[in-house]
Amino acid sequence: MRLAIIVTLAFVSFDSVHVKFVNNNDTHHVNDLVSKNEVIYLFKTRNKTSQLNLDHHRRVRRSVPVDRNRLFLDRKVNYLIDPWFPEKETQTIQSAIQKLSEASCVEFVQLSEKPTDDNIDYVHILPSSNCIGEFGRVGGRQMFNLSLTCLEEPTVMHEMLHTLGMWHEHSRWDRDEYVTVLYDNIIPSKKNYFRKLTQTIDDTLSLPYDYSSIMHYKSFDYSIDPSNLRTIISKNPNISSDSIGKTDKLSDLDKQRLNKLYRCDVKRCLDPTKPLNGEVIGDNFEVGAKISYKCKDDTFTLIGSNSRFCKFDGQWSASTPICVQQFYHFCNFETDFCGWQNNVGWVRNELRNQTEHTGPVTDNTLGTPKGHFIYTRSRRKQKGDIASIETPSFSVPDNVQKSCVSFAYYLWGERIGTLKVYIHLTQSGNKKLIFEKSGNIGPKWLIAKYAISAAGQSLHFTFEVIIGGNLLSDIAIDDFVFMSCTQEEIELGHFEIIDLDS
């Protein structure tokens, strides 16, 4: 039996990675684990046109993402087919992509050459002695490698659905209601790949279990005796175990799943919020459309992103910017830590080093994977460990009646601990807790806003995290701003008033 090796980068640390072995007569895949050195050897010995620099690997999430930022947010997938592919194989790729396009609202745009703009997301389909891809949207150039031995239309659709953000049907968190996994019949080193996902990271989209999905394993996959011993059997008396996973086309539920995932029922966003003392430029609010912002005159400074786009779910990307006349400090962490001090346990994000299934994959400022934030990396830490960081010290003028502080925060993961924020008053030495959140609040950025009376005061802020566990408990912050504010700004911005004397 001839086998083609398929490498899938699945973990950030590279202590191990997934390897898929594909039977030439089989459009479905099984996984194995190889060492880091073996992966490097495979990369060095395969076709040079498909080299992937390990240093530029980015985080992958192996699930139907609860975190919708893993999807192509404007429903558009740019792709480039390498000219090395023979004409027949190129047509196979195009036919598979065309069928996905016809089955959904996702727009596939074929590029004729590599984009010169690094900010353009695109899937680069490359020839290789292996098949390798990245799960979900990762931002910028994204690898999708195919060998001639696995280049069949069902396989291309299966792998492209991974790229679009769909994982295997039999990994659903509720799969035990529909199939039985026979672990004693599974090759021991492969048992890990039959684990079911958790509800924290897996979304079934309220669709029925699909035995006919192009994303389902067949009954004998991973078997220690593939001629006699099954690894998955159906619990449904009306569904034969022989039939599960055996398909060369998208099922009706595959199509429904893709369309629900990308909210094909949504056509536009609501009218965007107009910032106080600013304006919105643009009147096209359809999915994928862009708008921009500007302040009413040069006496105001725009804080936040000056542009946003309408996402597939009907929400605008990033946060509404604000126009301020006087601010003491603003940091979006795009270039550095902005002079923040006494850093214990906080890092600026580099996506290839982040942990799966916790923390953000996009920043709050820009709403893209290339934006920056700071977060507490929980990997290799213990429950109860403290990570803290302090802002610079600020002196509030005597004539400023009200000051406002806001910041974005992100708490997502199964073992999320606690985020606390304190104000330290220099003259009195008082320390006041103004913010505290604990536990998983979902994969989304939220904004905290507070107004204080601190005329003539010198003060600084401390962000403190109590680690919830050694994995799945990353906490992030972004877009900190401390500014003077008016009563109108406090009321319209829904700032919570904090009494520093209490």
Catalytic residue list = 159
Look up tokens 């492969």; give the residue: 190
CA atoms in the 13 A half-sphere facing the CB of 223 = 15
29 annotated as ligand-binding: no
372 annotated as ligand-binding: no
| Cα gap 1→18, rounded to integer Å | 21
| Cα gap 23→242, rounded to integer Å | 18
Phi, psi of 324 (to 5 degrees): -125, 150
Token pair of 479 as six digits: 């877009």
Are 466 and 475 a contacting pair, CB within 8 Å?
Answer: no
Look up tokens 């910032």; give the residue: 275
| Cα gap 456→63, rounded to integer Å | 52
**Alpha-helical regions (H) of 207-265:** 252-261
Phi, psi of 420 (to 5 degrees): -125, 145
What is the residue type of 217?
Y
Q: Which of 40, 224, 59, 223 is nearest to 130 (CA)?
A: 40
- Helix, strand, or coil (residue 279): strand
Are 57 and 143 a contacting pair, CB within 8 Å?
Answer: no
Q: Which of 366, 382, 418 is nearest to 73 (CA)?
A: 366
168 annotated as ligand-binding: yes
Residues 6+ apart with CB under 8 A from 376: 345, 346, 347, 387, 465, 467, 474, 475, 476
Binding site for Zn(2+): what residues are annotated?
158, 162, 168
Binding residues: 158, 162, 168
